[in-house]
Structure 1
Amino acid sequence: MSDLHLGAHRQEAVDSLAADVAASAPALTVATGDITMRAREREFRQVRDLLDQLPGPVLTVTGNHDVPLLSLRRAFAPYARYQRWIDEELDPVLRIPGLTALGLQSMPPWRWKDGRVSPQQAAKVVRVLGAAPPGDVRLLALHHPPLSSPLLGRRRLLSAVRAARVDLVLAGHTHVPDVRVNGRARPVFVVAGTATSRRVRGVGCSWSLIAVDPGGVVVRERVLGNEGWHTARVVTLSAAGS
């Protein structure tokens, strides 16, 4: 899931999201940034409450809205509230049986809204995911989609993704769900829509349920309608990338 934008949210989406996610019994829940609207203290408290309701483990990363907009805090303590309420680690690593996951903090405070991946972060992709046990799903999560946003360091990131044999790259930012490959069977790039925000763009509130096995990847887009959450689209990518 991505782009919760708590502080500018649909309450019915917030109230029903955790139960819909839990019904699928996921091995891992991922939130790819913009979890708040303006990085305010009360918004982070709301996010903390929602994350505590989601089935764990939960991996989160920051987005451009999770950094204070116009204040000295952006210059001197841009991630302090995120680290207090969500996770002290900005590039978190999470390992569970069968899966190794890495999150990247792609929002430097000196960028307005577009992201950056540093050489050190690209090296961490290779070091962490490239060393995952054989057979593990190798998952990378960041806010800015590498294939469809002006991400500084995009080439170095994609090179690291290839070197580390990453299976899934998860992102958000656009508020429009998307699934694609970049000329190869893996990785599969999945962009989640906005899970709870009022700022929808052609698609209602949505999140993506992803299943991975040796035969391929299946992505089910869950959308909030008048009768609750339902699967609006299913994308199946075989191991051959078709």
Structure 2
Amino acid sequence: MSAAPVVIAHVSDLHLGAHDPVAVDTLPADVAAARPTLTVVTGDITMRARVGEFERAVELVARLPEPRLVVPGNHDVPLDLVVSRFVRPYARYRAAFGTDGNTLLRLPGVTALGLNSMPRWRWKNGRVTGGQANAVVATLGPPDPSAVEHGPVRLLALHHPPFVRGSARLVGRAGLVAALVDARVDLVLAGHVHIPRTRAVDLAHGGRGHRLVEVVAGTATSRRTRGVGRSWSLIVVDDRAVEVRERHQCGDGWRTVATARFDR
């Protein structure tokens, strides 16, 4: 008998402090209606990492279904407080969410690792360290690399989309790609760009190939919609496929406007 599907609610770029009040009011109920196995929030939870914004962020995130995996984004590190940015960049984030953003959750049907991809010394673009890449393999890698059958869904969450090229390229990308192949990660969740995108990504490392699904969520509650509106991503994984539904804000409610399906 097949295991029950794993349902993941992927929310990103809340930007509390530059948010739409209707989206903030209605988002939690729409996410809760999906009854997710796990809720993932991929950063830029605040607009300028200010105390009041983090207070609002904590209130909103607490209304999203548990268990939750939350990682920071570039807007969650102080921009206009230079000393704080370099001496204690994650202090307010840690006070709000109890972690620096590197978090592992093991749940029935899914193992999820969150990485903090925002270094204090970069303004906007991200990086993944060698230690973080090693953690991907150590925590998400299958116990038996020769096994063919599906085990728990292996999920990596970070703020910055890892496969972007050019000036926005992730520092440490090559090491992360190697880790994703070695760990046979199923899903990579990211945000940052405010434009939802779902695709299968073919990777190669050490003579081995691997295909995963990348889900970049749009902005769920920000006013900075970049012409595509506010949205969040609902991901359903079973033994046969990964299905991703884009839930867009429509007036004072939300509805699915696009669906993508990938064979496993």
- Is TM-score (shorter-chain normalized) higher than 0.5? yes
Structure 1 spans left out of the alignment, 5+ residues: none
Q: Deviations over 1:143-165 (max 9, x none)?
A: 00011241101111111011001
Task: Note the 1:32-43 alignment, pairs <5 A.
Answer: 32-43=42-53
Could you say what secondary structure the match of 2:53 adopts?
Answer: helix
1:236 alignment partner in structure 2: 261
1:8 alignment partner in structure 2: 18
Structure 2 spans left out of the alignment, 5+ residues: 1-10, 145-149, 204-209
Could you say what secondary structure the match of 1:187 adopts?
Answer: strand
2:134 alignment partner in structure 1: 123
Instruction: Report which of the two structures shows the higher radius of gyration computed on alpha carbons.
Output: 2
TM-score in terms of structure 2 length:
0.88
| Residue 40 of structure 2 is aligned to residue 30 of structure 1 | yes
| Residue 225 of structure 2 is aligned to residue 200 of structure 1 | yes
Q: Is the CA contact 1:91–1:104 (under 8 Å) kept in the aligned structure 2?
A: yes
Higher relative contact order (CA 8 A, sep 6+): 2
Shift of the 132–77 alpha-carbon distance from structure 1 to 2, 3 Å rule, reads farther
Could you say what secondary structure the match of 2:211 adopts?
Answer: coil
State the distance in 1 between where 2:104 and 2:66 align: 14
Q: Deviations over 1:47-85 (max 9, x none)?
A: 110111111001000100000002111011100000001
Give the root-mean-square deviation of aligned CA atoms.
1.4
Question: 1 or 2, which has the higher strand percentage?
Answer: 2
Instruction: Give the deviation of 1:225 after TM superposition.
Output: 1.1
State the distance in 2 between where 1:183 and 1:139 align: 16
Instruction: Give the deviation of 1:96 after TM superposition.
Output: 0.7
State the distance in 2 between where 1:70 and 1:42 align: 15
Is the deviation greater in 63-72 or in 85-94?
85-94
Task: Work out which of the residue numbers 98, 102, 119 in structure 2 matches 1:91.
Answer: 102
State the distance in 2 between where 1:166 and 1:97 align: 16
| Residue 94 of structure 2 is aligned to residue 75 of structure 1 | no
| Residue 189 of structure 2 is aligned to residue 170 of structure 1 | yes
Amino acid at match of 1:54: L
| Residue 173 of structure 2 is aligned to residue 154 of structure 1 | yes
Q: Deviations over 1:163-191 (max 9, x none)?
A: 00100000000000001112267310000
Shift of the 132–59 alpha-carbon distance from structure 1 to 2, 3 Å rule, reads farther
Q: Deviations over 1:112-138 (max 9, x none)?
A: 100000000000000000146961000
